[in-house]
Amino acid sequence: MKFKTSETLSTINAYEAGKPLKEVEREYKITHIIKLASNENPLGFSPNVHDAVKAQMRDMNRYPESSGYLLKQKLSRKFKVPPENIVLGNGSDDIIALLAHGFLNPGDEALMPLPSFLMYEISVKTAKGCPIMVPLVDFSTNLKGLIDRLSPKTRMIFITNPFNPTGSIISFHEFNDFLAKVPEDVIIIVDEAYIEFVRDETVYDSLQKPLADPRIVTLRTFSKVYGLAGFRVGYGIMDFEIADVLNRIRQPFNVNTLAQAAAVAALEDEEFFKKTINTIHEGLDYLFSELGALGLKCLPTQSNFLMVDLKADATKVFEEMLKLGVIVRSMKSYGFDTFLRITAGTKEENTILINSLQKVIQK
């Protein structure tokens, strides 16, 4: 390449998304595919979203409202925080990048679990920071390991709760013990993309007492429980000084008009929200039961997905499942060579998945 690239580029691996439906249809020449790989909402989204988006179509020749006023007002009332403490993003990964670029100087360190959401590492590296990886313990975030890796160069820590891809959680008690050992000048980014699915009441939920600690930045998304993954809209709730920095450097129209309208409508439909939670919980219970009957062990989970140990090469099983029109996620790239991650789907999808998996593993 004749153009000089960033010196960090050679250390960055591209984010690998789950296989999209259209790609599988083209590659395997099959239809009626079910996708249980990317932790999406199997019910789609609220009917209210369709109407709200349709109503906005006539104004799509205009730029979006940069402040996201209506959406911030909804979130402000929901979580009882001032609107100025809310930052909207083109997905929560947009806010992750803003945090890295707003608060890291070359050589500054950001601690994170290993493995974890790849965008943590990518964002830190593109901001010329240094990601410090701390391996999991028993498929859970190693809080002691994170504390042990603190240094004078540490500027931020990434916490995912519930954890993706294992589904484990950090309890309120565990997090508070951890918090007491973190220096006052370190930002703690708590990514709660799956918090709505948690059934364990001991979980640490940063928005039970929002803004209680200025170090804590809460990240949440509309991609999962609200089913708006294709709209790309997430949000962060944080101390005003942090929010002010992010708003100074974010793109002025980072959340488009349709995404804002969709998110407002989604927040208003409590019935759809509850239906989604019930569908996921029932689906997980079914999957645990049926996978157990096949002699397979699943990790405990508090999210909308589970990890199952096949005691065999998960990638081969993943590829055979594709041929049957079922998309799941091999965890080989995460270092879990024998595990699949499966998103809970509808009753019909879950049944098809179990039948397909049974065919594959009994070959």
Say which range, 1-5, 180-184, 207-211, 335-339, has the weakest mean pLDDT: 1-5
251-280 confidence digits (pLDDT tens)? 999 999 999 999 999 999 999 999 999 999
pTM for this model (two decimals):
0.92
What pLDDT sits at residue 9?
62
Compute the C-alpha angle 94/100/103, nearest 5°. Answer: 130
| 16-45+271-361 and 48-268 in the same fold | no
- Of the CATH numbers 3.40.640.10, 3.90.180.10, 1.20.1510.10, 1.10.3720.10, which one belongs to the domain with range 48-268? 3.40.640.10
Rounded to whole angstroms, the Cα distance separating 275 from 196 reads: 12
Q: Which two tokens stand for residue 99?
A: 């945090």
Fold type of domain 16-45+271-361: Aspartate Aminotransferase, domain 1 (3.90.1150)
Rounded to whole angstroms, the Cα distance separating 110 from 317 reads: 35
Which of 329, 309, 344 lies closest to 197 in space, CA to CA?
344
* Domain spans in the chain, listed from the N-terminal domain onward: 16-45+271-361, 48-268
DSSP string, 159-211: EESS-TTT----BHHHHHHHHTTS-TT-EEEEE-TTGGG---TTB--TTSSTT
In this predicted structure, the answer to whether residue 13 has a pLDDT above a threshold of 80 is no
What residues form DSSP beta bridges with 187?
156
Rounded to whole angstroms, the Cα distance separating 351 from 347 reads: 6
